[in-house]
Amino acid sequence: MSLTTQKYTPDKSIADIIQAMTFRAKTTVEGFITGLHQSPYHGFSAEFSQHRQYMPGDELKRLDWKVLARTDRLYVKEYEDETNLRCTIAVDASGSMQYRSDKAHTRFATKYEYAVELAAAFAFLMMRQRDAAGIAVFGDHLQRYFPPRSAFGYLQEMYRTLLGVAPQGGTAIGSSLHTIAEQISRRGLVIVISDLWDDTDATLGALRHFRHYGHEVIVLHLLDPSEQSFDFRGATIFRDIETGEEIQTQPQQLKSAYIHQLESKVALIRSACMQQHIDYHLVSTEDSFDKAFRLYLNKRRMMR
Phi, psi of 150 (to 5 degrees): -115, 10
CA neighbours closer than 13 Å in the CB half-sphere of residue 138: 28
Tens digit of pLDDT for each residue in 179-215? 999 999 899 999 999 999 999 999 999 999 999 999 9
Q: How confident is the model at residue 6 (pLDDT cuts 50, 70, 90)?
A: very low
Confirm if 282 and 221 have CB atoms less than 8 A apart: yes
d(CA 97, CA 173): 13
Q: C-alpha 276: how far from its chain's center?
A: 20
The answer, yes or no, to whether residue 49 has pLDDT greater than 60, is no
Mean pLDDT of the chain: 82
d(CA 27, CA 124): 10
Q: How confident is the model at residue 177 (pLDDT cuts 50, 70, 90)?
A: very high
Q: How confident is the model at residue 18 (pLDDT cuts 50, 70, 90)?
A: confident
Please report, for the chain, the start and end positions of each structural domain, with discontinuous segments joined by +.
Answer: 3-39+83-303, 48-79
> Does domain 3-39+83-303 sit in CATH 3.20.20.100?
no
Of 237 and 279, which is predicted with more confidence? 279
